[in-house]
């Protein structure tokens, strides 16, 4: 089993969800997060003080999904397809893949692949 964590631009979430639905993926967690990567953040203006400051954090969406090993490649491809910018701008996101030792469905006590 694998645990996929994807950091994407917020405006790409609907596209990613559609691509995941096309491949039959079900069960994902979405969180609003802030961070920065290669694009480095942005300059903000505090309107109450008319001062400029560097925020260094951009709004992102974190998607987490657990998959069986055989669905890893198609799931990653769906996330890539849904989140990619046409022009290839910096800041399109990142996908991390981790090994998942176990999963347990609380209601039925199923574990492993059966819990997914």
Task: Look at 111 and 55; give whichever has higher pLDDT.
Answer: 111
User: Which residues does 114 contact at the CB level (< 8 Å), separation at least 6?
Assistant: 105
Mean pLDDT of 17-32: 95
Q: Under a CB-based contact definition with an 8 Å cutoff, are residues 38 and 91 in contact? A: yes
The Cα–Cα gap between 94 and 80 comes to 9
Quote the pTM value: 0.83
pLDDT tens digits, one per residue of 60-115: 999 999 999 999 999 999 999 999 877 767 778 899 999 999 999 999 999 999 99
What are the chain's domains? Answer: 1-36+56-113 (3.30.70.120)
3-state secondary structure of 8: strand
């Amino acid at each position: 089993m694998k645990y996929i964590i994807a950091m994407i631009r917020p405006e790409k979430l609907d596209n990613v969800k559609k691509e995941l639905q096309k491949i039959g993926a079900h069960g994902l967690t979405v969180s609003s997060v802030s961070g920065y990567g290669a694009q480095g953040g942005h300059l903000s203006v505090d309107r109450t003080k008319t001062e400029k400051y560097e925020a260094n954090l951009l709004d992102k969406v974190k998607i987490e999904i657990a998959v069986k090993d055989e669905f890893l490649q198609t799931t990653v491809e769906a996330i890539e397809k849904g989140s990619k910018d046409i022009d290839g701008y910096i800041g399109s996101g990142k996908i991390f893949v981790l090994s998942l030792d176990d999963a347990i469905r609380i209601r039925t006590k199923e574990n492993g692949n059966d819990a997914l």
